[in-house]
Structure 1
Amino acid sequence: MNEQPLVSVIIPNYNYASTIGECIKAAKNQTYPAVEVIVADDASTDDSVAIARALDVTVLQVPVNSGVSTARNLGARHANGEVLFFVDSDVALDPDAVERAVEYLRTEPGLGAICGMYRAEPMFPDSLVKRYRAIQQYVWFCEVEGAIPGLHSALFAMKKETFLEIGEFNDRLRWTEEQDYGFRLNARYEVKAVPTIRGRHDHDGTLRVMLTKVFNRTRLGAPNWLRLNKLPGGAGTGYRALGSAFVLAAVLALISAVLLGPWALLAAAVLTAIGVLLDKRTYAYAYRHHGVTFGLQFTVLHLLVTLTSAVAASIGILQGLLYPSMTQRLYRVETPA
């Protein structure tokens, strides 16, 4: 790799007019000197394209909305850089993010991709849900420093030659494309996540949108994790998965209170407490850094997210067990002869 290779910052976008300006400005305001910025727009219907063009970057357009994989692939095909840095259009990179990524790729030749992490503060802290999600993902991402089994697709860099070797993102996938690509990368290279490459993410601002995303990503991802016998994330993931099962059991106990009476209520309280203890680092961060009032609000939201994940994972695992061929077709897995 050249001493200062050109880096193509590729920004897939669909209707993120509210954030793409900050995203592009951050990508252009890097300490690394050799950067081209490419916006790959997935047939947006808002002002995204006009905003991007006004900021004097390359804008490519997908004729029909086809998903983030198609947009990323389009940007990569037109990239001139020796290094590709993919960043979502709702993420504003820290000024030294590209410089740090290039240094990792230069000094570690066996590295397939280097992934960054979100900061604990959202790009625009204008809702409780955004503040909650920023803290939740910050704590969870901080647990996975070092080698990871998947990919943080919101902000990561890789050599273009590696991208050409591994192939494009699977355009069939709308919610789990990063899992699939991470597995393919890990089959040949190491993938790392580091806290020194950072960005501020504009998290979902409403409870409905956040829970919908959590449900869909967990339900569709669970059969693939089951197929590979892996769990996403770091050391705390197994404890959190078990904790979510306890929260689900607590809700079932609460529902059964009509028949079983006070004992079911006691069981629900105990099961919830166990679920919280198994994910205590997440809760503790919110209380320690933002006080009791926010901590209580955080607790309610996190229990809802945990419950949603548990329900979605249960459905996804059941689907994976009953219909394994569906998962194989979706992820283009060849069935042994």
Structure 2
Amino acid sequence: MTGTGPAAAAVPGDSASDTGNGGAPPRVSVVIPNYNYAQTLELCLASLLRQTLQPFEIIVSDDASTDGSVAVAERFGCRVLRADTNRGVSAARNAGAAAARGDILFFLDSDQALSPDSLENAVRLLRADPGLGCVHGIIAFEPLVDHGPVEWYRTLHAHHWRLKGVGPTPTAFFAAAAVPRRVFEEIGPFHPALRDSEDVEYSERLSARYRILLTDQVVAAHDEEHRLGPMLREQFRRAQYLLPFAAAHRRRRGALRANSMAGVAAATFTVATVPAAVLAAPLAVLPVLGILAFACADPSLLRFVRRRRGLGFLPLFIGLHLLVNLQIALGAGTGWLRSRFDRDFGRVADGPPRGTGLSAGPEAGPDAGRTDAMEGRTTG
């Protein structure tokens, strides 16, 4: 990687920025992995300029973007690290962390924009409890960019399940998360071979030594996928790794879950009984019962959607939610079959990358050559 651009280093010394415990607040290095997110990167960086606690530096770790992302980052005065080839979100975060000079690393995805007090709140929470290894935030209930109903579905769902999970948890999501540098150095880098589920693997290592806090005092507006086809394909792809990870990393009590097993089962039952209902009219009651069971799987979610978007949006939300849960079931089943015939499938879930240094690159992981098989989220 090569670095360009000046450091955005400005830590105000006034009392409004002091988080307590005496002295100046820690230096916060914001690390932003990015791959072709020029539009939202601008909104992301603008939100950092509005923070009540200004970051010591902003590092954009660009994963070989082909759009105008680098120009956007340089215009905001960020430190820019440029990768020669696309290596994925884990490698981009590792490179940014290795270059950071702050006391606290704040990982922020390039398709998110922080509420103005998010950095200050994260620092305050970390300083108040030395046993905390990570503070991460929730998704705002409104999308960063309004692209229509599919994006509203994704945003409302993401906001609701994260808000329900606020408090101590063994799960960390690094789309908007603060980690003391000393903790990151101790735990080691993100698994460089993982382009999907890297949060799950890292959470296992982190929660074994430190506490993790999900807080509603760190809030990020997110630009979700707004097209139905790509959204469903993404759910199917990610779901394939659910069972391999479940086998390699037993879920700790209190782990965050976006969807319930009851909902996934009800969605599968509903769709599976439709052919029977077509063939025999009396059996039409089966998919109806399936829909009712699906709706009852998370009634608080439906009440929340009705409050935020009104009764008219609810049928569309239920329909989209049913399709997503069906994709989870299909993806998990496909992943299980793949694991039966491909011994190496999901093998990156078997353990942490070799080495613990911040500078670990793609060669550090045992499956560095398998990143092309995990064609999920890259960066941002």
Fold conserved between structures, TM > 0.5: yes
**Residues 204-283 of structure 1 aligned to structure 2 (within 5 Å):** 204-230=225-251, 240-259=260-279, 261-283=280-302
8 A contact 2:201–2:349 mirrored in 1:
yes
Distance 1:323 1:184, change over 3 A: farther
> TM-score of the superposition, structure 1-length normalised?
0.92
Counterpart amino acid of 2:309? H
Give the superposition deviation at 1:85: 0.1
| Paired position in structure 2 for 1:292 | 311
Q: For the Cα contact (< 8 Å) 2:142–2:155, is it kept in 1? A: yes
Structure 1 residues 63-212: aligned runs within 5 Å: 63-212=84-233
Flag the 1:232–1:308 CA change in 2: closer, same or farther, 3 A. Answer: farther
Q: Distance in 2 between matches of 1:329 and 1:247?
A: 29
Question: 2-side partners of 1:227 and 1:58: how far apart?
Answer: 37
Q: Which residue of 1 is the match for residue 371 of structure 2?
A: none
1:289 shift after superposition:
2.1
2:107–2:174 Cα contact (<8 Å) kept:
yes
How far is 1:263 from its partner? 3.6
Cα displacement (A) at 1:252:
0.8
Distance 2:104 2:331 in 1: 36
- Structure 1 CA distance, aligned partners of 2:331 and 2:167? 28
Instruction: Give deviations 1:36-82, integer Å, cap 9, x for gaps.
Output: 11100000011111111111111111110010111100100000101
Q: Deviations over 1:63-106 (max 9, x none)?
A: 10010111100100000101000000000011111111111111
Query: For the Cα contact (< 8 Å) 1:141–1:233, is it kept in 2?
Result: no
Structure 1 alignment gaps of length 5 or more: none
Q: Which range moves more in the overlay, 263-272 or 43-52?
A: 263-272
> Structure 2 CA distance, aligned partners of 1:146 and 1:226?
26
Aligned-pair distance for 1:237?
Answer: 6.0
Measure how far apart 1:29 and its partner are: 2.1
> For the aligned residues, what is the CA RMSD?
2.2
Asked whether 1:304 is paired with 2:323, we answer yes
Return the letter of the residue paired with 1:37: I
Query: What code does the residue aligned with 1:73 have?
Result: N
- How far residue 228 of structure 1 moved from its aligned partner, in angstroms, is 2.9
> Which whole-Å deviations, capped at 9, do the CAs of 1:216-274 have from their partners, x for residues lacking one?
22221332124333289768767x21121111011111123355x12432111102210
Provide, for residues 291-332 of structure 1, a one-character-per-residue CA deviation record: whole Å limited to 9, x for no partner: 122112212111111211122223334555x36953673124
The one-letter code matched in structure 2 to 1:272 is I
**Bigger relative contact order (CA 8 A; separation at least 6):** 2
Q: Within 2, Cα distance between the matches of 1:101 and 1:273?
A: 40
Identical-residue share of aligned pairs (%) = 35
The letter of the residue matching 2:301 is: T
Amino acid at match of 1:271: G
Farther-moved stretch of structure 1 (225-234 vs 143-152): 225-234
Q: Distance in 2 between matches of 1:183 and 1:125?
A: 34
- Superposition deviation, residue 137 in structure 1: 0.5
Alignment size in residue pairs: 331
The offset of 1:208, in angstroms, is: 1.6
1:110-138 deviation per Cα after TM superposition (whole angstroms, max 9, x unaligned): 11101111110001113111111110001
Worse-superposed segment, 99-108 or 206-215: 206-215
Cα separation, partners in 2 of 1:243 and 1:110, compared to 1, 3 Å: same
Q: Distance in 2 between matches of 1:133 and 1:237?
A: 11
**How many angstroms does 1:182 deviate by?**
0.9
Q: Is the 8 A contact 1:143 1:235 kept in 2?
A: no
Structure 1 residues 279 and 226 mapped into 2: Cα distance closer, same or farther (>3 Å)?
farther
Of 23, 44, 55, the match for 2:44? 23
Distance 1:236 1:215 in 2: 16
Give the secondary structure class of the aligned counterpart of 1:331: helix
Asked if 2 retains the 8 angstrom alpha-carbon contact of 1:83 and 1:157, the reply is yes
Q: Which amino acid aligns with 1:225?
A: A
Aligned residue type for 1:312: G
Residue 162 of structure 1: how far off its partner (Å) = 0.7
